[in-house]
Amino acid sequence: MTPVTVQPHTEENPPTPGRAVLVGPSLCVMPTLPPGTEVAVELQALDRLTYPPPQEATLLVAVHEAGLKAPNSLHTQLLGFLDGHLIWAGALSETHLTVLSEGGGDPRILLGESIGTGTRLFTVVWPGELVLEATGGRLGTIYSGERPWVVIGETAEQDILAAPLNEAGNPKWYTPVLRREEVLISGSSKDAQLELPHVWSLPGSLPSVGVVAPSARDRILEEVTAYF
């Protein structure tokens, strides 16, 4: 087996988010920042976000424990708080974050309290690209492409919390499936999965382009609340 050389951390070689883990004959990278870690989004990434966090928000990692075991992905969930209230959510890669403090506690509890709330629950919105200048390439693990999003909650400032829909090609326990007849929007022709690890807060002013069928809402809400 080829030996793996680990360089010590110095000013010239600072630590970066993520950890290398030996899996069989090769290395994979996993996220390392536990829930409650206080972070800042690096400026180069922040300037490209369509829906950036408010400047006054305290940003905390709120990744699901299963996400810390995901091989070859540094994807994480962030929440923004002001005076203890949830005001922003975004999902991106640890590579765009700077750690400010280790923090403590699990902010996912407060996210869970916001899931299933609000007058826009189970409406469908079309937020456009999450990254400005999308032609410049993807930005880490941020969801790309124009697609419908399902509203699953509301922030303290009455912005909506939503997760993207993707073609149901590889559904998992954290991606509830909606059959094509359960997504009541123009052009719905395929089954879709709701990508719960990619929750973003979006402006409450976004118009609805459709709804989730009433017959599917109890089932989806049960699966969504189980995840959060």
Q: What is the pLDDT of residues 124-167, one digit of tens each?
A: 999 999 998 755 667 888 988 889 999 999 999 999 999 999 99
Distances (CA, A) of 144 to 76, 91, 137, 153: 15, 12, 9, 21
**Averaged confidence pLDDT in the chain:** 85
Q: Is 39 exposed, middle or buried (0-12, 13-18, 19+ CB in 10 A)?
A: buried
What is the rounded CA–CA span in Å between residue 29 and residue 68? 10
pLDDT band at 170 (very low <50, low <70, confident <90, very high): confident
Can you list the domains of the chain with their CATH numbers? 19-227 (2.30.30.110)
Mean pLDDT in residue range 2-9? 30
Q: What is the pTM of this model?
A: 0.84
Mean pLDDT in residue range 66-88? 84
Question: Looking at residue 19, what is its pLDDT?
Answer: 45
Question: Looking at residue 104, what is its pLDDT?
Answer: 74
Question: Looking at residue 60, what is its pLDDT?
Answer: 96
Mean pLDDT in residue range 43-59? 95
| Beta-bridge partner residues of 85 | 82
